[in-house]
Structure 1
């Protein structure tokens, strides 16, 4: 294995024997000035097909949390049939890291859709349960059962957001326009290199796809929709602007459920971009 870039002391970007790029994890493998050869025996885990946008994020997550996330993904692959690329290991690790931070700060998040997820998405809920047990074992931290919902939604979203490069290219212009609407509404500059923007783009890709097919997400999340609409009026107003723009361009009109998920993604993006400063 040839190291071509060090991410930190324990993570490096390598080329395998076929020339394929791989992100490798192993204690102390990031020491040394690239390029250099690395013994396979020193590598604990490898991840292929990682979007470069996630490499910067890896630096801010502990190796222990990434390893825990990888164990959860291993378990998840035995429970769900849909394929997941390696990048989900890092997005899940980021999610779990924030869940632990919220716990330490005694920040409790209400999840009105907890019972909906438990009854409608049994496999994903079971993955969430497993994650909480593993966090308890590894870190001696007991997260609330509501965190199961957040973890389950992570996998539900991953399943719903699979797409190919051609679909991304077709909707490139309209996504740029939507990005501009958000930046203008909140007076911010959104970095396209941030992994949160990548997740937002993924959501928009599938939002547009459902619009083209004339289908919408349906569930009984009206209370959560009403709560977000009341507590985050700027996010709601921004979502309405996007909805109106898509109606003008494509003739799409999305229901409250679609607006709810759009608002959740806008809010997550805005929290990271510090819209509420």
Structure 2
């Protein structure tokens, strides 16, 4: 096996004897190594095959500031999910779930707990995925020492559900696409900014918007929930421009789709908008 790409000192991209791209991991595996050099098989601790040939670039971007331990964690969770679910999971989940877990664990350690207003609906509509996600909470606690509430299981379940969104009918796909595209346009015009469509932050925001739009298309309108007013006011105050943008989105959705989104959803939108715009501004300086 030869090194095709070095992600960091412990993770590289290579190929197996079937010419399938494969991520291999091991302590010091890539230390002072270059592309084209052989992989030290004695140092390989974990490996998994990527069927999506274009995924390696996104993994490389992600692992710039995400510890590979979270890639290992997502790999373990997805291995379990594959054994429990009847459908094929998209390889992109390795990127999406790794990024999500890193953000979630970091947030939890800082004492920031976000409520998931859809957990009841997720438990009801996606029973298999939610069951798998509950088991994932045990895996996360075992690996990181962090115990999440069931709200987090709902978010993990949605990542699994996202792997099968392409199975919906064409009308639904078109409606989702239009809503997502319009919301992205609102963000771009509000901040007078062209978003970096190749960034992890953009992919994260796009995933959230797809979930958001699919809930409307599938008529999975959230129940009334008790919003954490203190958290809402803190987010509103700390991220003023992102919140103003979320208000514009709420007005657009109410006018176009007759859908009044909740304060909880505004919190999520505000946080995602801040990340996708603030980090890009910081990077471009």
Category of TM-score, reference length = shorter chain? 0.7 to 0.9
Q: Which residue of 1 aligns with 2:12?
A: 12
Please give the TM-score of this superposition, normalised by the length of structure 2.
0.71
What residue ranges of structure 1 are gaps of 5+ in the alignment?
A: 248-252
Change in Cα spacing, 1:210 to 1:71, as seen in structure 2 (3 Å) is: closer
- Matching of residues 1-277 of structure 1 within 5 Å: 1-31=1-31, 32-43=33-44, 44-48=46-50, 49=52, 51=55, 52-160=57-165, 179-201=184-206, 215-221=217-223, 223=225, 232-238=243-249, 240-241=251-252, 253=257, 255-256=259-260, 264=268, 267-274=271-278
TM-aligned CA deviation for residue 24 of structure 1:
2.4
Asked if the contact 2:186/2:248 (under 8 Å) is kept, the reply is no
- Tell me by how many angstroms 1:46 deviates: 2.3
Query: Deviations along 1:22-70, whole A, 9 cap, x unmatched?
Result: 3322222212122112254543212312522232102322222221111
Maintained 8 Å contact 1:196/1:269: no
Residues 224 and 20 (structure 1), Cα distance of their counterparts in 2 relative to 1, 3 Å cut: farther
SS at match of 1:78: helix
Cα separation, 2, equivalents of 1:224 and 1:234: 23
User: How far apart, in 1, do the equivalents of 2:211 and 2:109 lie?
Assistant: 34
Contact (CA 8 Å) 1:128, 1:151: kept in 2 or not?
A: yes
Stretch of structure 1 that moved more, 69-78 or 182-191: 182-191
Shift of 1:126: 1.5
Give me the whole-angstrom Cα distance separating, in 1, the residues matched to 2:23 and 2:244.
41
Cα deviation digits, residues 145-166 of structure 1 (max 9, x gap): 3222222222223332579xxx
**How far apart are residue 92 of structure 1 and its match?**
1.0
Deviations 1:6-36 (A, max 9, x none): 1101111223334443332222221212211
Q: Compute the TM-score of the two structures, normalised by the length of structure 1.
A: 0.73
Shift of 1:123: 1.5
Q: In structure 1, what is the Cα distance between the partners aligned to 2:105 and 2:215? A: 34
Judging changes above 3 Å, is the alpha-carbon distance between structure 1 residues 131 and 174 closer, same or farther for their aligned structure 2 residues?
Answer: closer
Deviation at 1:106? 1.1
Q: By how many angstroms is 1:208 displaced?
A: 8.7
